[in-house]
Amino acid sequence: MTAVLSPRNIADRLEKEFPGSIVSSDDNSFEMNSTFLVPAARFLKDTPGLDFDFLSYITGIDRYDHFELVYHLVSLKHNHSLTFKVRCYGRDNPSAPSLTPVWRGADFQEREIFDLLGVRFEGHPNLKRIVLWEGFDGHPLRKDFLG
């Protein structure tokens, strides 16, 4: 059984490592400040004992006033998992740092979020529309998208 690590615990460690990086935490996940995303991700990936080598999925949720990005990490070595979230604000040009340099698996998923939700990922090597065509008007998964 994949053990779910306590998000509070991890959040405390991250806060100690990168002061100011954690916004809040509860029993299921913790929320991270987007500026610390890449260093924190490297920390989670490389720290012995955590070893989150497998980025299971990324997804985005439109919460009207902000976009919530959900990251789900798994460690194949220790068979444990972790969920954390990042908020990005603004409807016009919301952005978050890209995790592609850390986990290549983020590549297509970030492009998909960019395509369907319109969240820009800074530092992504090839950020362009993936499933829809160039010139498509709007981002379909936004709640205010008019089909």
DSSP state at residue 127? -
Give yes or no for residue 23 binding other proteins (CB under 8 A).
no
Give yes or no for residue 110 binding other proteins (CB under 8 A).
no
- Using CA atoms, how far apart are residues 84 and 131, in angstroms rounded to an integer? 26
Query: Tell me, what amino acid is at 95?
Result: S
- Report residue 143 as tokens: 């709640």
| Shortest Å, Cβ 136 to other proteins | 7
| Residues between 77 and 96 that touch other proteins (CB under 8 A) | 79, 83
Give yes or no for residue 46 binding other proteins (CB under 8 A).
no
Give yes or no for residue 136 binding other proteins (CB under 8 A).
yes
- Using CA atoms, how far apart are residues 86 and 14, in angstroms rounded to an integer? 14
| Residues between 47 and 76 that touch other proteins (CB under 8 A) | 53-57, 59, 61-62, 70, 72, 76
Give yes or no for residue 147 binding other proteins (CB under 8 A).
yes
Q: How far is CA 105 from CA 15, 79, 86, in A?
A: 26, 18, 18
Considering the complex, state which of residue 8 and residue 16 has its C-beta at the smaller distance from other proteins: 8
